[in-house]
Amino acid sequence: MYWEQEKECLPREDLEQLQLERLQSTLYRVGTHVPFYRKKFNELKVDFDSFNSLDDLRRLPFTMKQDLRDNYPYGLFAVPLREIVRVHSSSGTTGMATVVGYTKNDIKNWSNLVARILCAAGLTADDVVQIAFGYGLFTGGFGLHYGAERLGASVIPISSGNTKRQIQIMQDFKTTALVCTPSYALKMADVMMEMDINPHGLSLRYGLFGAEPWSEAMRSEINERLGIRSSDNYGLSEVMGPGVAGECRECNGLHINEDHFLIEVLDPKTLEPVAPGEIGELVITTLTKEAFPVIRYRTRDLTRILPGTCPCGRTFARMSRIMGRTDDMLIIKGVNVFPIQIESVLFDIEGTEPHYRIIVERENNEDKITVMVEVVESIFFDEMKKQRALVDTVKRRLAAELGIHVEVKLVEEKTLERFDGKGSRVIDKRQL
């Protein structure tokens, strides 16, 4: 099922020609209208008139989150404010918030790209889509809302929170597709149990989850508990919001909407391209954005481009699910640890619940990592011997995965905080 077959299945050669033309006009737009880029282009002596190959991209400067902050709020906009019809902002958990803007045409493209992703995941105009992402400055709620409307689906703009009411509405309104973070989907499964509602008896068939990292094991858990088929979708506000990439029904990587975004996968240290198929940092250049184009935006997200073609027929490159962020990688005793590695192990062990916290401390100048994991009631109240056996299994599996020793603490079900939006499962107490 395609939303725009002729674009989604463009022969690579035609796609690259289109990308080059769009890149040239984006460079012209930012070079003329955004002082930040004009200055950078001048400093680097970039003559964007001489761009005639996509490889020339490597001559261009990078854009970092800090550049957005330095130009807060409107300094990087490429159009006057009177042409802006929408503003979003990222919450800025670290440092100042960043602001992005959209023209009418940007909103049209955005809705269309989100509709593409919903359609690729299997949704149609017949679906009843419950959007449980926050509506507001966060791009998740409005981004998916406009896309689902563009698809022609019936949209329930419930926003996040008030989980019991979400479930009641899901039941009464016969929701067929749930859109939220994967952690909120798991919370819903828990609350359904508390409410004595069997998810398999609902009309729910699809889950469209994104906005935070999740593992394949978590997907299986959600699919099984909610009786749905879930797919991953990726985006970030600096580049547009949701709609940058999403899985088709094959669920073997996320197709990147390459006619609107030019991507590179670079070694985060050397900033040189990694070998094909290797993991690196995703760097994105927008090709059609009018209000807020970005050149070589360093996402900090780690992924790799999957080799081969997809049986679905789309020619857009596929990236693996996000494997972590360069800035959420923990360095424990010099070893690189990604929270997602820990999640994958925990989800695989019988008796552990899908809720955990990772605590990192420094004791006597040495890093210590403790994983708190909820366990099913029967184990928590079991004899010490059985508990100890489970702790040993978790420790052993984590040591094998990470190559370091990890402390493990079992906690009773429902003791760890649940998340309605993006989860934050790491508490790093070291003040490094």
Query: Under the rule (CB under 6 A), what is the footprint of ligand DLL?
Result: 90, 133, 138-140, 210-213, 232-237, 241-242, 299, 301, 321-322, 325
Which residue number, 397 or 425, has a Cβ lying nearer to ligand DLL?
425
CB of residue 6 to ligand DLL, shortest distance in Å:
26
CB of residue 98 to ligand DLL, shortest distance in Å:
8
Tokens of 108: 């049209």
- Rg of the chain over Cα atoms, rounded to whole angstroms, equals 22
CB of residue 238 to ligand DLL, shortest distance in Å:
6
CB of residue 423 to ligand DLL, shortest distance in Å:
11
Please identify which residue in the block is written with the tokens 């070893």: 335
Give me the residue whose beta carbon is nearest to ligand DLL: 210
Do 19 and 262 touch, CB atoms closer than 8 A? Answer: yes
CB of residue 408 to ligand DLL, shortest distance in Å:
25
CB of residue 96 to ligand DLL, shortest distance in Å:
14
Coil, strand or helix at 101: strand
Which residue number, 128 or 319, has a Cβ lying nearer to ligand DLL?
319
Q: Give residue 136's region: left, alpha or beta (phi > 0; psi -120 to 50).
A: left
CB of residue 303 to ligand DLL, shortest distance in Å:
9
In angstroms, the CA 384 to CA 395 distance is 16
CB of residue 191 to ligand DLL, shortest distance in Å:
21
Which residue number, 90 or 257, has a Cβ lying nearer to ligand DLL?
90
Task: Please name the residues in contact with 222: beta carbons below 8 A apart, sequence gap of 6 or more.
Answer: 182, 185, 186, 189, 207, 209, 228, 230
Q: For residue 346, which of 374, 323, 367, 322 has the smallest C-alpha distance?
A: 374
Do 72 and 89 touch, CB atoms closer than 8 A? Answer: no
Which residue number, 161 or 201, has a Cβ lying nearer to ligand DLL?
161
Which residue number, 138 or 206, has a Cβ lying nearer to ligand DLL?
138
Which residue number, 31 or 235, has a Cβ lying nearer to ligand DLL?
235
In angstroms, the CA 364 to CA 25 distance is 57
Q: For residue 337, which of 295, 180, 153, 345 has the smallest C-alpha distance?
A: 345
According to DSSP, the residues that pair with 335 across neighbouring strands are 332
Task: Please name the residues in contact with 220: beta carbons below 8 A apart, sequence gap of 6 or more.
Answer: 347
The burial of 400, by beta-carbon neighbours within 10 Å (0-12 exposed, 13-18 middle, 19 or more buried), is given as exposed
Which residue number, 304 or 321, has a Cβ lying nearer to ligand DLL?
321
Which residue number, 213 or 339, has a Cβ lying nearer to ligand DLL?
213
CB of residue 212 to ligand DLL, shortest distance in Å:
5
Which residue number, 138 or 316, has a Cβ lying nearer to ligand DLL?
138
According to DSSP, the residues that pair with 412 across neighbouring strands are 375
Task: Please name the residues in contact with 11: beta carbons below 8 A apart, sequence gap of 6 or more.
Answer: 315
Task: Please name the residues in contact with 93: beta carbons below 8 A apart, sequence gap of 6 or more.
Answer: none
